[in-house]
Structure 1
Amino acid sequence: MNQDDVIAATRLWLEKAVIGLNLCPFAKAVYVKNQVRIVVSEARHLDGFLEDLDRELDYLVAADPAETDTTLLIHPTLLADFLVFNDVTGIAEEAVEEHGLEGVIQIASFHPQFQFEGTEPDEISNYTNRAPYPTLHLLREDSIARAAAAFPDAAAIFERNIEVLEKLGVAGWESLGLKR
């Protein structure tokens, strides 16, 4: 899979869904300032992907937040099965601890078949965490805290997102040109 195509699809998702639908009210500011690092892993196996994760954790914590505030680590083919990806997300969270970055870096997960516990696969609420490819989002906790302070009711974001997606529906999501 071509890295440029993966990055283009990810940017389209960021622009049309995450920012366009305002699913994350904090995303636009860092995106327009080019502070979002998008890395496509070409690892052939899970160990290689986890090594890429280790490198990205080290990179992000060492980088100036004004240059790189957040990182999207994507693997377009290795983690196609959502349950496997979910397990890898748990391993990634353990890697944060192993790096001594608890309270510094947080991981959010996005996947084409993302499914919240207790939901049916095609429920529109799952689309809040659906991305074109399996993606680990490495976020700085300081940035999350600043963004949450600027947004008085951060807890309401998830509920608002579900309302937006319910109004949009699957057909509306597909009309954005996003992969389903």
Structure 2
Amino acid sequence: MSSQHSPSEHDVKAATEQWLSNVVIGLNLCPFAAKPQRNGQILTLVCESSSDEVVMEVLCDELKKLDETPVSELETTMVVTPNHFTDFDKYNQFLDVADMLIDQYGWRGTYQVASFHPDYCFADAEPDCDSNLTNRSPYPVFHLIREESIEKALRHYGGDPEDIPDNNVERVCTLSDQQKRHLFPYLFSAV
């Protein structure tokens, strides 16, 4: 997202939460997100730093907070970095650091990191392919997820969980240009 000045923390949080409501939940890209959102169990934390080390510390602190907070109070956390990782390749490389943190603290199997970025591009897709919209957020996001919550949600899911990614791609690929501009205004603001 290019601009002359950095967006305010409030604006970043509002844009991220609007994306969560309109795209992730509105298009049902994650069939498990609506309930925690309704219950106020999703934390959106804006990390304004442009330092790898600070982002790593914030991710570690937020994983510890998830570890210490009952799921009834905090289901999941989205760490948003509006001033860092604007380059998707650098963001993607940093995901290895996030995974390293999970291993270092013995959280493998307890937490995982889902990735979202304005320029998200799947390895097997061209950058302008609509399938990438499933993971395109207004700002770089590290979504910290409790694996136990995913497993619990999957037990109550009515469909085949293996179909979710393909269903999501089909959903975003059938959006009209007008719908895309409405749902992803940050992708069209420079056009």
**TM-score category by the smaller chain?**
over 0.9
Residue correspondence of structure 1 range 96-111 to structure 2 within 5 A: 96-111=102-117
What residue in structure 2 maps to residue 53 of structure 1? 59
Match of 1:130 among 130, 136, 148: 136
**TM superposition score normalised by structure 1:** 0.96
Match of 1:120 among 126, 147, 152: 126
Shifted more, 154-163 versus 165-174: the winner is 165-174
Secondary structure at 2:161 match in 1: coil
Listed as ranges, the gaps of 5+ residues in structure 2 are 1-6
Structure 2 CA distance for aligned equivalents of residues 177 and 124 of structure 1: 12
Aligned partner letter, 1:179:
Y
What residue in structure 1 maps to residue 4 of structure 2? none
Aligned partner letter, 2:124:
G
Structure 2 CA distance for aligned equivalents of residues 177 and 160 of structure 1: 19
| Contact 2:111-2:145 at 8 Å conserved across structures | yes
1:147 equivalent to 2:153? Answer yes
Q: Which runs of 4+ in 1 moved over 3 A?
A: none
Aligned length: 180
Match of 1:167 among 149, 156, 174: 174
**Cα distance, 1:122 vs. partner?**
1.0
Change over 3 Å in CA distance of 1:169–1:115 after alignment to 2: farther
Aligned partner letter, 1:153:
D
Listed as ranges, the gaps of 5+ residues in structure 1 are none
Provide the identity percentage: 37
Secondary structure at 1:42 match in 2: coil
Secondary structure at 1:85 match in 2: helix
| Contact 1:35-1:66 at 8 Å conserved across structures | yes
Structure 2 CA distance for aligned equivalents of residues 164 and 75 of structure 1: 27
**Cα distance, 1:174 vs. partner?**
1.2
Change over 3 Å in CA distance of 1:165–1:94 after alignment to 2: same
Structure 2 CA distance for aligned equivalents of residues 148 and 173 of structure 1: 29
What residue in structure 1 maps to residue 19 of structure 2? 13
Secondary structure at 1:156 match in 2: helix
Residue correspondence of structure 1 range 11-90 to structure 2 within 5 A: 11-90=17-96
Structure 2 CA distance for aligned equivalents of residues 166 and 37 of structure 1: 29
Secondary structure at 1:138 match in 2: strand
Residues 26-52 of structure 1 show CA distances to partners (whole Å, capped at 9, x for unaligned) of 000001101001110122311111111
